[in-house]
Amino acid sequence: MAQACKADETRPIWRTETMPDSLNNPGTDHTPVLLRETLELLSCAPGGRYVDATLGLGGHAEAILERIQPDGFLLGLDRDEESLGIARARLAQYAGMFRLLHENFKNLPLVLNNTGITPVDGILVDLGISSYQLLSPARGFSFQSDAMLDMRMDKSQRLTAADLINSLAEDQLSRIIHRYGEERYARRIARAIVAARAKGAITRCSQLAELVRRAVPARRIPAIHPATRTFQALRIAVNQELDGLDDFLTETVSFLRPGGRFVVISFHSLEDRIVKRAFRALAGQCVCDRPPELCTCSRQPQAKLVTNRAIRPGETEVELNPRSRSARLRCVERLNVSGLGSLVPETIER
């Protein structure tokens, strides 16, 4: 469904996300991305122990639980308490087989150490924003809404997108928009934001979207809304999505049993580059781009690459679920490396 910008008839018509009719019961509309491929790579089997570190609305988790019953176990984490509540209701039929925690996925090593649910047979991380968060007007993620600029995945944190927009210096805003949004007009956008906020605080998604639209040179046939990259950049900055991601990937693989799989789904190039680099390092490959004689990379492999190239959704999935079009899936399998197996206990607490 398309919606025209209102200010004048010369503006382009932007493709918009379709708002689900059952937003009050969002679990019923949730479509897990790359579900078949994820399940195949995780090799889910009855009695297995698995982690969904970014539970969302529980679509992937539900499919995993179905395959590991009757005596399997799943640990689910999410930083969004609203999503956790929806997922808990969705997974109710598997009561006793799962434990859900309000946690950032980057804290998974600490959680696994504290709970004793190790070693595990598979770990899934589905990075980025969920459709539920994006399409919930009150969450302030979308440039298509008139909601307050929020963008917090975890509503218990204090920093919002409005805080960044109204407090950061022009050069700081420019760096964020350029780095996280890969926006070529970052300086123009930052300059327009600073000029506008001098007349009054920028507090709503629609305000920011219009500012960006006016700052970016018009294109005859624009591929995306001009504010898309700026909103992505602010969301990443607010939620610190890329901070520590490489360390998390490197540390977490040791909690898998030998032969266990680590599956990561990313949705933009910045995430995918980090995942690709970390997985290659875990496989003992050089990632420093230096001459061989100057390479300082560890060549001690802890895992092997299961996917040499990222798996992308097929045409049918993209047609049914347009949001999946940017998804990239990568997977590694933990090797039986001497000395690493003793890092994790063999007990399980539910």
pLDDT above 50 (res 173) = yes
Mean pLDDT of the chain: 87
Whether 1 has a pLDDT exceeding 50, the answer reads no
CA distances from 223 to 109, 220, 279 (A): 40, 10, 32
Burial class (CB in 10 A: 0-12, 13-18, 19+), 159: middle
Of 323, 238, 245, 273, residue with least CA distance to 19: 323
User: pLDDT tens digits, residue range 276-312?
Assistant: 999 999 999 887 777 776 777 777 899 999 999 999 9
- pLDDT for res 9: 32
Contact 128, 241 (CB under 8 A): yes
Q: Kind of pairing, strands 49-52 and 120-126?
A: parallel
**Which of 255, 251, 277, 257 has its CA nearest to residue 266?**
277
When pLDDT is averaged across residues 25-35 and rounded to a whole number, the result is 70
**How many Å apart are CA 193 and CA 204, to the nearest integer?**
13
Q: What is the pLDDT of residues 48-59, one digit of tens each?
A: 999 999 999 999
- pTM listed for this prediction: 0.85
Give residue 338's pLDDT: 59
